[in-house]
Structure formats: structure tokens, C-alpha cells
Amino acid sequence: MKIALLEPIGVTREIVESYGERLREMGHEFCYYDTLWENTEELKKRSEGCDIAMIANHPYPQEVIEASDKLKMISVAFTGIDHVGTACCKEKDIMVCNAAGYSNQTVAELIIGFAVDALRNVVKADAVVRQQGTSAGIGGREICGRTVGIIGLGQIGTMAARLFQAFGARVIAYNRSQSEEKKDLGITYCSLDEVLEQSDIISLNLPLNNETRGFISREKIAKMKPDAVFINCARGPIVDNKALADALNEDRLGFACIDVFDCEPPIPEDYPLLHAKNTVLTPHQAFISEESMKRRAEIVFRNVFSYLEGAPQNVCKL
């Protein structure tokens, strides 16, 4: 089979080649692109003749999949697959496997970092020092004793909940289903309205799909406490980000820490959150760490080996 890694996945070429050599020893053709494609036509050329395509978090659209006549499997070096033309994959019976779990720790740690930053004014304090200021008025608040609301209690949401508990926070959560195991961790399930209304810190950890797009609406934002901290390390389109910016600018919400937007960075200059008060913005980096990139590479190649051995893993429902 022809197997191609179509874009970089954040590890050294030596690591990629070590996996590639194993595939060649099994009798397969393997090629690797260490730059991102510039346009759809280039992506089509890279995909030409591939039985298995390996991608990361950049769009792999329907028109490319339609043009790839031999494609049988896509191994996605990412947890979400909303950037893949899955409808076309389903129509052509192309298997899609993801890299579930690789970034759980990394994302959860950034969520905690965001909360500390927002409550203790870290970014603001840095600016104060550089302007010859003092600590007057910027001491902030503790996580300990506060109520943290987790919206979406999957693997990342659960890990974030446990880290918040280690700080001494009370954790409540909204999720479509409930787990006795997570109740045993001391997490209290609540309605969405209760989470929005009671939480001092809210962490959004839902996947992006047709049901969650626009889920955090203007009306839901209005239910949050006026001094609450809202954290989004999930997906940008789950939130009405214009409404979020308005709430911040009108002092109806305390702070927002945002890693994901309605588009991939670079973000347009007129994007509302860029001009909102009391924000910390990062360029979709929550999933990136030295450790997570190595885990991701291992999983995405293991998906390929498992598929070739007839025992596919991490298969996504399309």
C-alpha cells in the first residue's frame, strides 16, 4: 500500500522515519511531507494514489477525498475530526481513525494555567512591572474554595476537574450522560443552567458537531456570573464569540481565556475578541507540548499498523 504523512505532526524527522522504516520493512511505500500544503490542488497531488493518508489538524476537504480513488483509511493526528470531509468518507466507505487521548494532560494543564492567570492577573502584572508599577490592586483571587463548572465531562474535562480539585475547588459538571465513576471522584452533575449560574470558573470541553455548534449562545453567556472566568480550549464555533466579546466589554462577564476561534490563527484584525477587555488569547496551542506531540505520533502510526494488521483502533463513527 501507499501510505503518506501529508503534513508535519510536530516531531522530528528522525521519529517519523523510524516509523516509516517499519512500514517499508512490511513491504509498503511510505512518504512524508515536512511542509504544509499551499492549496487544495497541492493536497490532491500529495494524496494521489494513497491507500492510507495521515493528516493532523488542517482541513482535509471533501473534494480531496473525492479525487483520491484508492483511499481506504485516514489516520488523523488529532482528537476532533470536524476538519475532515467525513460525509464523503462515509459514502466511500473510508475508515477514519483519530488520536484520542494524546493531549488530555497538555490541554488540562493549560486550562489550569488559564485559570491561575485570570485569577492572579499574571499578564496584567507583567505589564505593570515593565511600566515601573507595583502590586497594588492586582493581587487577585485563589482557585481554592471556588466553584468550577465543567461543560463536557470527557477525558479532558475529567482531567481538568481532577486538577481543579487538587487546588481545593468544588467541581460541578454538565454532560449528556452521567457516570457513577465520576460521581465517586467528587464531581457533582448539574443542569447546564446550574453550571452557568453557579460557577466562578467555567471550562468548555465539548466536541464540535452539529449539536454543539453555537451551543454557548448569547442567552447562555448572560446566565454566567458577572465576575466569572470563561475558558475555551475546545472549539471556537461552539461559542457565539461576538456575544462573548460584548459581555466582556459591557462588564457582564469577568474574564475569558480563549485558545480556539471561529477560524485557525492568524486571526483577522477585526475579530471581536481581539478587542475585548479582560482576555488572554493563545493561538490554538492547548494540544501542543513536547510530550503530547510524541504521544500523538505514536498513536497515529499505531492506528496505521493496527489497520494493516486487520485490527483497527480508534475508529471514529461517521
Active site residue 22: no
Q: Which residue has the cell 509498503?
A: 28
Active site residue 284: yes
Considering the candidates 235, 252, 269, 298, report the single residue annotated as catalytic. Answer: 235
Active site residue 291: no
Cα separation, 228 vs 230, whole angstroms: 6
Considering the candidates 146, 170, 284, 296, report the single residue annotated as catalytic. Answer: 284
Cβ burial of 126 (10 Å; 0-12, 13-18, 19+) is exposed
Considering the candidates 66, 109, 264, 298, report the single residue annotated as catalytic. Answer: 264
Q: For the stretch 55-92, what's the b/e string if a residue is b when 16 or more beta carbons lie within 10 angstroms of its beta carbon?
A: bbbeebeeebbeebeebebbbbbbbbbbbbbbebbeee
- What is the DSSP code (8-state) at residue 276? -
- Pairing relation of β-strands 52-55 and 29-32? unpaired
Going from the C-alpha of 215 to that of each of 139, 154, 206, 218, 236, the distances in angstroms are: 34, 17, 9, 9, 11
Dihedrals φ, ψ of 286, to 5°? -55, -35
Q: Which residues are catalytic?
A: 235, 264, 284
